[in-house]
Structure 1
Amino acid sequence: SVLINDETLSFDGDRFEQVLVHVYKALNYISMGQVDSARVEMLQADVKMMEWGETPEEDPFTRYLSGIVFEALGEFDDARVAYSRAVEVYKKTKARHGLNVPAQLKNDLLFMLAKTGMNNELQQYKKEFGMSGYKPPNTQGMGELIVVMNNGLAPQRDQTGIQTYSTEMALNIRIAIPTYPLPPAYVNQVRLQVGDQQKILEPVENIDGLARAALESSIAGITARALARAVVKKKMEKETGERQGGLAQLAMLVMNTASEIADTRCWNTLPQEIQLSRVYLPEGTYELKLDVIGQSRAVVDSYNFPVTIKAGRKTIISEHWVAPRASIASPVKSTGTVTKSANRIN
């Protein structure tokens, strides 16, 4: 990579992307009813984050989803620990993603503290959250609907060329570095309507922010490598000219210029944001409606589908909305702009 560009390096993805691999594998297992396998993915994500040993590298939504999986499996103590950890990670990593502790997560943690009899911790968190009047909901005979919305597309890496001065060569050198477009795209809201309940889904993961923060933390090293590479190339051009003449030096210049590109590889099918909502409902079959609300506050997309709720079970629906389906010239039923999976779990 010293002589060509960073795209010749092996691509492992940023750390947040490495963790999200396990998140999406877990959601896929849930859609197939294999919740134990989803639990394994959450544990693998935990091992990966523990190996890094740095709180800023922890992903708060991964902790949150771990709690949901543990709760679905009846492992309430583990769910409580995961929710508690998620709260702390949201607070400690806010500079990277810009999100406060989700209100839904606060309720989930309080509910699990009450369920596991952790009264001292319950009172402590009620005070911290400003929720002194909190009372656990009556879930007797109820089932739970959990909607996970993958909203939009994560920012796509581009490149920009900059001129920087090399003291070693005593001249200005052009290098290419990766960048993300500014400003970030507007994120649509999603409104859930089911039964007599209506809720706006809450942001639980700002992938746009994580991507930009990851690039910002690595840009110094990227720039240093690019500058070192450019200096080596300039030396090669000079030596080629001295040995083989001006035409050979020009050919080397053209080759070096063409190969000087930034590493713009990224996981480009990730959503811009992940949103979530949880609703308790009596057993029965419902018509679930999801409205995507644009910047003008108008509904830009809407779709309905039936969902069956069973008492004591959780129904988890995961979707990815990218663009209004009507804007696609030849929609394909199996993929389209919305992918959906739903499964009841004990």
Structure 2
Amino acid sequence: MVNLAMITTVKPSIFLLALFCFILSGCAANNREMSEVANQLRHNLPVETALTKLEAIKVEQQSSAQLQLNLGYLQLVSGDYQNAIINLEGAKETMLSLQAVSISENLSSATVNETFRSYSGWPTDQVLVHGMMAMAYLLNNDLNGARVEILQADVQMNKLAETKNTQGQLAFVRYLAGVIYELNDEYDSALISYRMALSIITARQESPPQPLQQSLIDLTAHIGLNEESKKYQQQFHLVLSKPYSNKQFVFSFDGVVTQMMQAKSTLWWPIDDVYLSVALPNFPRNNYVESKSYIHTQHSELATQTIENIEERARGDLQARMPKITAMALARAGAKFQTVKELNKKDNVLGAFANVLTIISEVADLRHWGMLPSSIQVATSYSTKKTLNLSTHYGQQTLDLSQSTISGKSHSVILLSSLTNQIHLASF
């Protein structure tokens, strides 16, 4: 982090030049465009149209990771797995390279605003990018590629855990790792991942979804840990699954995460004839209402259940950053005040002009992975039929599983999204 003492020693000429650079740049405008697309998605904008709009946005280098994350996610849910992998990989590499931020970026963000800093992703982004890439690899029938991503996610979560906070610890990614290991017949590793998912959910004082509960019961019994299996059966009030030959792992991405807004305060300081301005990011009220999908079997109806509330993860990431963001904003306001005060002494017109620029340039950094779903839900079924009947955001839909049966593949990964009526399927 930049030494705050440096902020108050910036020469007025350099300061004004930095302000002009900001006015001429499109940092804030680009983020507004992405937020507008996200809000339109929440109101049924077709995902193909959203992709076209995103692809038309030209961003500065410091916001490239944000654009790639958003593009990659929308390409994933629209079925363009190859380009999703390319964009998510690009975002992942960019975020990794930005862990060491340059002094010039720090100084610009400290003297003008936070949008001069390159977007390196929030803890949730840094882990979830691996999860979304793993999903893209799975749906592209590349189990090995998916396995590599969840191994990288494990490294990233362990690294974040060293800071002794819960940011970036995602139950969805741990559960997905368990599914990938299970598909690869690595049952010991699958059980470890499912246990980790349960541990995260328990630490949040949330209820684990039924598919995770059932996987813990079944896998412990499968590898001979009968006492542990019985313990889970008693804890979750479930019984061991009947022997099955087919299993469908269903994932549902519901909604679009709430977009951040700016809270800006401007104060007139009459003693020195200076306006002071501070802008901070915040999330508005969470109005997300969960929408479930349903799987209709011969004997029952299964509802998807939330394993990751992205609305809460995003708010948690911002809350953890707010002390540093607020301290920097106040220091920046002090630096701008001193600069305008000095210019006022030399030339009132120049001072007034500089004061206007300080107000215009003070904007909050609202960049985040804004196209993510509000929640990630899961379900499992054990259908041996050639079709699977579903009720989704788009009504009744029937999924053809016959190709899986013909090819002799017994397990499937199914992805649903409230953004599109497409149902994505891969069999293993």
TM-score, length of structure 2 as denominator length: 0.68
Query: Is 1:126 paired with 2:233?
Result: yes
Q: 1:290 aligns with which of 364, 377, 391?
A: 391
Q: Which amino acid aligns with 1:180?
A: F
Q: Could you tell me which residue of structure 2 aligns to residue 138 of structure 1? A: 243
| Cα distance in 2, alignment partners of residues 213 and 80 from structure 1 | 28
Q: How many angstroms does 1:10 deviate by?
A: 1.3
The structure showing larger relative contact order (alpha-carbon pairs under 8 Å, at least 6 residues apart) is 1
Q: 1:312 to 1:304 in 2, by over 3 A?
A: closer
Structure 2: distance between partners of 1:182 and 1:257: 26
Counterpart amino acid of residue 239 in structure 2: Y
| 36-45 vs 311-320, greater mean Cα deviation | 311-320
Distance 2:198 2:417 in 1: 25
Equivalent in the alignment of 1:74: 185
Q: What do the CA deviations read for 1:186-240 (whole angstroms, capped 9, x no partner)?
A: 1222222255542111111100110011111111211111111011001110111
In the alignment, structure 1 residue 115 sits paired with structure 2 residue 222: yes
Residues 44, 164 of structure 1: CA spacing in aligned structure 2 closer, same or farther, 3 A cutoff?
A: farther
Choose between structure 1 and 2: higher strand proportion: 1
- The DSSP-based 3-state class of the residue aligned with 1:189 is coil
What secondary structure sits across from 1:2 in the alignment?
A: helix
The 3 A distance-change label for structure 1 pair 138 and 270 is same
Give 1:77-96 correspondences, 5 Å limit.
Answer: 77-94=188-205
Distance 1:151 1:234, change over 3 A: same
Aligned in 2, Cα 1:223/1:305: closer, same or farther, shift over 3 Å? same
What pairs with 1:330-345 in structure 2 (closer than 5 Å)?
Answer: 337-345=420-428
Aligned residues: 312
Counterparts in 2 of 1:307 and 1:219: CA distance versus 1, 3 Å: same
Q: Which amino acid aligns with 1:177?
A: L
- TM-score under structure 1 normalisation? 0.84
Q: 1:233 aligns with which of 336, 345, 349?
A: 336
Q: After TM superposition, give the deviation of residue 339 of structure 1 in Å.
A: 4.6
Contact 1:288 1:307 in 2 (8 A): no
176-185 or 5-14, which deviates more: 176-185
Q: Which runs of 5+ in 2 are unaligned?
A: 1-108
Q: Structure 2: how far apart are the matches of 1:264 and 1:77? A: 42
Match for residue 364 of structure 2 among 262, 265, 276: 262
In the alignment, the residues of structure 2 paired with residue 121 and residue 205 of structure 1 have an alpha-carbon distance, to the nearest angstrom, of 25
CA separation of 1:14 and 1:339: change in aligned 2, threshold 3 A: farther
Counterpart secondary structure, 2:401: strand
Q: Structure 1 pair 271/277, CA: closer, same or farther in 2 (3 Å)?
A: same
Residues 1:102 and 2:102 aligned together? no
Identity across matched positions, percent: 25
Aligned residue among 299, 302, 313 for 2:410 = 313
Counting helix residues as a fraction of each chain, which structure ranks higher?
Answer: 2
CA distance in 1, matches of 2:330, 2:165: 31
Query: In 2, Cα distance between the equivalents of 1:85 and 1:172?
Result: 51
Does the aligned pair in 1 maintain the 2:209–2:378 contact within 8 Å?
Answer: no
